[in-house]
Amino acid sequence: MGRMQILACQYDIAWEDKPENFRRIDHLLRHVAICPGSLIVLPEMFSTGFSFNLKAVAEEPDRAAEKYLAQLASDTESCVIGGVVTHDLSGKGLNQALAMGPDGKALSRFTKLHPFSPVGEHHHFHRGHGPEVFSWQGWRIATFVCYDLRFPEAFRLAAKQDVQLMICIANFPAKRDHHWRSLLVARAIENQCYMLGVNRVGSDPNASYCGSTLLVDPLGHIVKDAGKEPGVINIDLDQDNLCEYRKAFPVLRDRWMI
């Protein structure tokens, strides 16, 4: 079965400054050995921070963030996932996780299912319609965005599509770090999959962030933890271990609702 290198990038996102964030990511990755076929993952709204200022964060007309993801994917011969914002036909935003292949084409464009209503995200962004699953290097992968992590039914719907790796990109605040870590572990255990949470550090005008970018294995063990400083966690995933565990302890076959 397949092995895959994952590079999860955790950094302080410059507020509403796309060119500066592109430079910060390039700086993080410049000394990292990236194998062709890798998976590079950036946080939610990776180029702007979690802002409702659609004039500053949305992609139209230049699609600068999407072009950056495509170029990074091409340069590294990898799949790159990052959070972007687009508009729907009503003019509201869509908070998305975009997976870009090395040929410059989107492998998946997932729209956040649960806008964060406690701070009014639902007034500015429309929700998505369901999980999106795509394949990369023989892995079945589903992406989610931040607040989605609190709603296990969405992850279960993805699990029904034989997903092996679930990824949640986020701007998850430091004051709820314990929730972030606990929920990532729970999603991994209940869906018998690898769970990768990619968060940011630093602060913006509204919140402070503690990082805690994590890779959790299907048994709920934290395999990698980026801590609270900018950096890249480099992970080599082995699909054989996952398949052997699911075969030995086939919990998912006993589900009876979702």
Which one of 9, 79, 112, 190 is the catalytic residue?
Answer: 112
Q: Quote the pLDDT of residue 89.
A: 85
Which one of 16, 44, 66, 132 is the catalytic residue?
Answer: 44
Asked if pLDDT for residue 128 goes beyond 70, the answer is: yes
Helix axes 177-191, 152-159, angle to 10 degrees: 30
Q: How is residue 253 annotated by DSSP?
A: G
3-state SS class at 249? coil
Is residue 35 annotated as part of the catalytic site, yes or no? no
* Integer Cα distance of 90 and 93 in angstroms: 9
Q: Which of 11-15, 28-32, 59-63, 120-124 has the lowest mean pLDDT?
A: 59-63
Q: How is residue 122 annotated by DSSP?
A: G
What is the arithmetic mean of pLDDT over 113-120? 97
Confirm if 114 and 147 have CB atoms less than 8 A apart: yes
Average pLDDT of the residues of the chain: 97
Two tokens, residue 32: 């990292």
* Integer Cα distance of 98 and 224 in angstroms: 23
Which one of 9, 18, 132, 146 is the catalytic residue?
Answer: 146
Q: Amino acid letter at 112?
A: K
Relative to beta strand 39-41, strand 231-238 is: unpaired
Q: How is residue 96 annotated by DSSP?
A: E
> Quick one: pLDDT band at residue 39, thresholds 50, 70, 90?
very high
Segments making up each domain of the chain, as ranges: 3-247
Is residue 175 annotated as part of the catalytic site, yes or no? no
Asked if pLDDT for residue 2 goes beyond 90, the answer is: no
What is the arithmetic mean of pLDDT over 25-37? 97
Q: Quote the pLDDT of residue 1.
A: 52
Prediction pTM value: 0.97
Q: Quote the pLDDT of residue 258.
A: 75
Secondary-structure class of domain 3-247 per CATH = alpha beta
Is residue 79 annotated as part of the catalytic site, yes or no? no
